[in-house]
Amino acid sequence: MFNFIENNKILLGLISSVIAVGAYIPYFRDIFKGKTKPHIFSWFIWGLLGGITYIAQVVKGAGAGSWANGLTALICLVIAGLSITRGEKNITLTDKLSFGGAILALILWFLTKNPLSAVILACVIDTLAYVPTFRKAYKKPFEETLPAFITTTIGIIISLLALEAYSATTWLYPTVLVISNSLFIVMLLLRRKLIKNNYGKL
């Protein structure tokens, strides 16, 4: 098993990249159908952050394991653009504070010269960026495309296996993504079940 992983880094990188792109097909479909309402704050920060960490991974020799991250960053920015007209319109104070914190952390990233510090900040930024989407999805769990998050998480796990150099700089950020996405998926499932059960009692 481990020999297969070591000998097929490029193949795993390609697989994770295909999954990264394919995962968002249902998400785009639901956006244009009006079923999914992405939060612009989250997707803009995720796109910007993904691009930053992709560059950091390339510099540290992540190789094929970084491809999915680069593609995902581009897709996130496209979704952020669509969010302007097709996204969540209810922007709360919590959303604004989270967005402001993420921007502040991005500024700190530009000031640091240490790649590991940059990735740690990236993890903080990504978590803050998740707050608006998590808040919105908690209240409206059916306005997110669950299969997209599940497939994306699988792709990130494969990209971790495809890393050609393992260090905190290369594996920390995608690991945080897996944890964040997994918590989000569990929350969506529980909230949907609760709402369906309550609706059935009416």
Whole-number Cα distances in Å, 118 to 38, 79, 100: 27, 24, 18
Say what the pLDDT of residue 31 is.
95
- Domain range holding 177? 2-201
Say what the pLDDT of residue 202 is.
46
Residue 156 pLDDT > 60, yes or no? yes
Say what the pLDDT of residue 51 is.
81
Say what the pLDDT of residue 62 is.
60
What mean pLDDT value characterizes the chain? 83
Residue 187 pLDDT > 90, yes or no? yes
Residue 104 and residue 116: Cα distance in Å, rounded? 18
Residue 171 and residue 168: Cα distance in Å, rounded? 5
Residue 129 and residue 153: Cα distance in Å, rounded? 17
Residue 151 and residue 15: Cα distance in Å, rounded? 12
pLDDT digits (tens, 9 = 90+) for 4-44: 445 566 776 677 677 777 888 999 999 999 999 999 999 99
* Residues 201, 157 contacting (CB under 8 angstroms): no
DSSP letters for 64-109: GGGHHHHHHHHHHHHHHHHHHHHS-----HHHHHHHHHHHHHHHHH
Say what the pLDDT of residue 125 is.
87
Say what the pLDDT of residue 171 is.
84
Counted domains in the chain:
1
Higher pLDDT, 10 or 193: 193
Predicted structure pTM score: 0.80
pLDDT digits (tens, 9 = 90+) for 49-75: 878 777 776 776 666 656 667 788 889
Neighbouring CB atoms inside 10 A of 14's CB total 16
Neighbouring CB atoms inside 10 A of 133's CB total 21
pLDDT digits (tens, 9 = 90+) for 73-117: 889 999 999 999 999 988 999 999 988 988 888 788 778 878 788
